[in-house]
Structure 1
Amino acid sequence: MYENKKFAQNKDHTVQLSDKQLQTVGVTTTMIQNRNMVKLVRLNGKAEIAPSHMSSVSSIMGGHIKSINVISGSHFKKGQVLAVVEDPQFIQLQQDYLVTKAQLESARLNLNRQKDLNTSKASSDKTLQTAQADYSTLNATLKGLEEKLRIIGINARGLSSGNIRSRISIHAPFSGFVSKITVNNGQYINPADTLFELIDPAGLLLELKVFENDVNDIKTGQEIAVYSNENPDLKLNAKIVSVVPSIENGGAAMAVAKLSSAHSEFVKGMYINAEVSISGRNTLGLPNESVVSFENRNYVFEDLGKGSYKMIPVTAGISDDQFTEILKADFLKDKKIVQKGAYSLLMMLKNKAE
């Protein structure tokens, strides 16, 4: 703002306009008035992902990476093949299943035969019990192998000696995007090795700084509008889901918000802005153009009549796109306050001081 000691020493802070100046400036006046003001709080922060929506993907069984079908940052759909792994143990597991399945069928036939023989006392109870034990053991083994095949993505019920394969596919457990790829083609991986780090956009959280002056206005459940620096015209709806009440060293608390619906515009680590409209309150205010600023203080001009105007210091509160709240404004209730032309009067008063 302007630095002018002579202006500061001009104690009457009045300016006199000629008829010609009045016509040029086009001064209009208004009165202090009751307004239902809505406070707009602006916040900023970063987009983060809840730990519950970040997943590390590995292979159930070890093997060599034959292909990788995604790149870092790419989007994928639930069930999409992310990578293909190859290893002879996959063949062995399928063979074991088919052999066990054949043995189980043989054990089933033997058990039925032993039941018939035991009924006619042609075989002993011990022989029947052995047949039952063999059948139960093979049945449990087959169920276990079937479950292992299911886990690696092979449908055991459709398996035959003609469709045994040496490769398995790693499928996406949900829809999202790839945060990191930690393997490459040809690499041998163990079951404990992480292949991909995946992010589910449904877990996107917006961590917003709330300065001390606004802490009491920010509540859980409030609807907010959020937008990025890159695309400020695209405003999405979100809701505050929690507020950390403690004030940090930087003079700000933290509010956590969640988008009403997932949107590809927002990604982890992006800087974002938010606007929160606080419920209105009935207060005294003036049109925005009536309030002028000089050296970090706010002023209005009172119309004294006959082209004479006096600058009066005021304390401004909240503001919206039309009005500014004036705190402790009772002393202005009966005064005519300049609306159009207030800034021009400020410039004239400054020039007068100089």
Structure 2
Amino acid sequence: MKSKIIIALLAVVTLMSCNNNKNSETGEQEEHEGPEGVVFLNPQQREALDLELGTFQMRNLTTMVKTNGEMQVPPASSAEVTAVIGGNVRDIRVFHSDKVRRGQTLAILEHPDYIKLQEDFAELASRLEYLEMEYERQKELFENNVGAGREFQQVKSEYNSAKAKHQGLKARLQLLHLSPEKVKEGTISNSVPIVSPINGYVNEIDVKVGTYAGAQDMLFEITDNSEIHADFMVYENDVHLLEKGQKVHFTAANIPDKELTATIFAIGQEFEANARAVHVHASLDETVPGLIPGMYISGHILTDENYTRTLPNDAIVSEGTKSYIFVLDEEATEAEHGHEENHAGESDEEHGEHSGETQEGENNEVMAFRMVEVITGLQDEGYTEIKLLNPLPDDTQIVMNTAYYLLSDLKKDEAGDDD
């Protein structure tokens, strides 16, 4: 960074020297003196400095809690997919990072146990039909005092037991995504699908074709990033400052140059044992692509609404005990343009040439920047509070990044005038 700044300063000095040499070679001894405390920069000098213009920014620098954490998704937005009943992996139908929808087939398992389960269900379904008919017959006889109560109770017990077992097997088939109705009709499958329980992206695949997947083994991990939020850690001495609805300004590891904002919606009610800190959850104020769970984030929580006028630290320069900024002086800029136009016109008359039109176009791009004294206040995150001694319009254009070099150039010019 320092090397770039030094190169930029050398470039500006070189440009200024070239302009002075050009004036000497052409015999022009007069120099136009601008207003005191004003620096003039042509387009080449501004480009060499990479000069940026901007306006005051309202930021909260009074009461802030610094924090860090990581991006997370709610528990309902993350799923580990397992097999209900273990089986051998026959086919894998997704790849890492694939987007999947709820109910989509991720893999196919096969095992003799699946066949046995369907056979048991089909056999029991047929027996249940017989037991139901027998139960109704014995019930009618019992109610008419024809049949014995003992026989009725025995048939009733068998019927209820078979009915409960039938419902259990039916539920197991449904968990395996097999149709009980098709099994009743005699359609038996030797494989079952493993499906995604949520919409999201495939983050992990822990199976291979041909391997046995147990009922407790994690086969896939699916994450829905659409509900991603910021999970911050706040130490115990700052917890009393937190409230739901407060704003958090933070940056993420993969986009460090962009400041993101979020709103606190939940504050943890217990401390992490080792860190002595609580979790603070904040929802993003806007959709930001590229954020993934586990990504490191850092920022600050605004615990009040006392916003103040600020500028980047590079926009402020100090001389002695005073602080200054540089603002675009439109009057001085226009006056400089008028001076250059008159000077170009005189040159045309002396030399009988029309080259002044070209020089006029170039000189019109010269910009004047006036040094303005300010009072600085609090500093945080690369910004400083600014208090104005004299009011400035809200849309005033301010030099945001090279105030030090403009001051150096101004002092150099003043030293040259003294000589």
Asked whether the two chains share a fold, i.e. TM above 0.5, the reply is yes
Evaluate the alpha carbon distance shift between residue 139 and residue 226 of structure 1 in structure 2; reply closer, same or farther with a 3 A threshold: same
Q: Which position in structure 1 is the counterpart of 2:134?
A: 110
Evaluate the alpha carbon distance shift between residue 235 and residue 314 of structure 1 in structure 2; reply closer, same or farther with a 3 A threshold: closer
Evaluate the alpha carbon distance shift between residue 290 and residue 142 of structure 1 in structure 2; reply closer, same or farther with a 3 A threshold: closer
**2:46 aligned with 1:22, yes or no?**
no
**2:409 aligned with 1:347, yes or no?**
yes
Matched position secondary structure for 1:347: helix
Q: Which position in structure 2 is the counterpart of 1:14?
A: none
Give the superposition deviation at 1:281: 4.3
Cα distance in structure 2, aligned partners of 1:117 and 1:93: 36
Q: Which position in structure 2 is the counterpart of 1:73?
A: 97
Aligned partner letter, 2:217: D
Cα distance in structure 1, aligned partners of 2:315 and 2:259: 30
**2:290 aligned with 1:265, yes or no?**
yes
Cα distance in structure 2, aligned partners of 1:121 and 1:286: 98
Q: Which position in structure 2 is the counterpart of 1:128?
A: 152
Give the superposition deviation at 1:139: 1.0
**2:85 aligned with 1:56, yes or no?**
no
Cα distance in structure 2, aligned partners of 1:347 and 1:170: 71
Q: Contact (CA 8 Å) 1:205, 1:257: kept in 2 or not?
A: yes
Q: Contact (CA 8 Å) 2:248, 2:300: kept in 1 or not?
A: yes
Give the superposition deviation at 1:265: 2.4
Q: Contact (CA 8 Å) 2:266, 2:280: kept in 1 or not?
A: yes
**RMSD of equivalent CA atoms:** 5.1
Which segment is superposed worse, 97-106 or 152-161? 152-161
The correspondence of residues 1-354 of structure 1 with structure 2, limited to 5 A, is: 20-23=32-35, 26=38, 37-39=58-60, 46-50=70-74, 53-119=77-143, 121-202=145-226, 204-207=228-231, 220-223=244-247, 238-241=262-265, 256-259=281-284, 265-271=290-296, 279-281=305-307, 291-293=316-318, 299-300=323-324, 314-317=375-378, 325-326=386-387, 332=389, 344-349=406-411, 352=415
Aligned partner letter, 1:188: Y
Aligned partner letter, 1:39: N
Cα distance in structure 1, aligned partners of 2:95 and 2:322: 55
Cα distance in structure 2, aligned partners of 1:216 and 1:113: 73
Q: Contact (CA 8 Å) 2:82, 2:220: kept in 1 or not?
A: yes
Give the superposition deviation at 1:233: 9.0
1:155-186: CA deviations, max 9, x gaps?
A: 31343343211111111111111221111111
Aligned partner letter, 1:349: K
Matched position secondary structure for 2:128: helix
Evaluate the alpha carbon distance shift between residue 342 and residue 194 of structure 1 in structure 2; reply closer, same or farther with a 3 A threshold: closer
Gap regions ≥5 residues in structure 2: 3-29, 41-55, 326-369, 392-397
Cα distance in structure 2, aligned partners of 1:294 and 1:24: 16
Q: Contact (CA 8 Å) 1:52, 1:203: kept in 2 or not?
A: no
Matched position secondary structure for 1:93: helix
Q: Contact (CA 8 Å) 1:39, 1:319: kept in 2 or not?
A: no
Give the superposition deviation at 1:84: 1.1
Cα distance in structure 1, aligned partners of 2:103 and 2:371: 73
Cα distance in structure 2, aligned partners of 1:122 and 1:86: 52
Q: Percent identity?
A: 25
Cα distance in structure 2, aligned partners of 1:198 and 1:289: 45
Q: Contact (CA 8 Å) 1:37, 1:319: kept in 2 or not?
A: no
Cα distance in structure 2, aligned partners of 1:183 and 1:286: 55
Cα distance in structure 1, aligned partners of 2:129 and 2:371: 105
Cα distance in structure 2, aligned partners of 1:287 and 1:175: 43
Cα distance in structure 2, aligned partners of 1:243 and 1:109: 60
Give the superposition deviation at 1:90: 1.1
1:117-144: CA deviations, max 9, x gaps?
A: 4455543221222221221121111111
Q: Contact (CA 8 Å) 2:39, 2:410: kept in 1 or not?
A: no
Matched position secondary structure for 1:67: strand
Give the superposition deviation at 1:197: 2.1
Q: Contact (CA 8 Å) 2:251, 2:298: kept in 1 or not?
A: yes
Q: Contact (CA 8 Å) 1:39, 1:318: kept in 2 or not?
A: no
Give the superposition deviation at 1:188: 0.9
Cα distance in structure 1, aligned partners of 2:154 and 2:233: 72
Matched position secondary structure for 1:159: helix
Q: Contact (CA 8 Å) 2:375, 2:386: kept in 1 or not?
A: no
Q: Contact (CA 8 Å) 2:376, 2:384: kept in 1 or not?
A: no
Evaluate the alpha carbon distance shift between residue 157 and residue 298 of structure 1 in structure 2; reply closer, same or farther with a 3 A threshold: farther
Which segment is superposed worse, 254-263 or 191-200? 254-263
Cα distance in structure 1, aligned partners of 2:167 and 2:278: 55
Matched position secondary structure for 2:305: strand
Q: Contact (CA 8 Å) 2:102, 2:196: kept in 1 or not?
A: yes
Cα distance in structure 1, aligned partners of 2:380 and 2:94: 49
Cα distance in structure 2, aligned partners of 1:63 and 1:76: 23
Cα distance in structure 2, aligned partners of 1:44 and 1:298: 35
Aligned partner letter, 2:121: Y
Evaluate the alpha carbon distance shift between residue 107 and residue 323 of structure 1 in structure 2; reply closer, same or farther with a 3 A threshold: closer
1:251-284: CA deviations, max 9, x gaps?
A: x99854223577652112335576988735477x
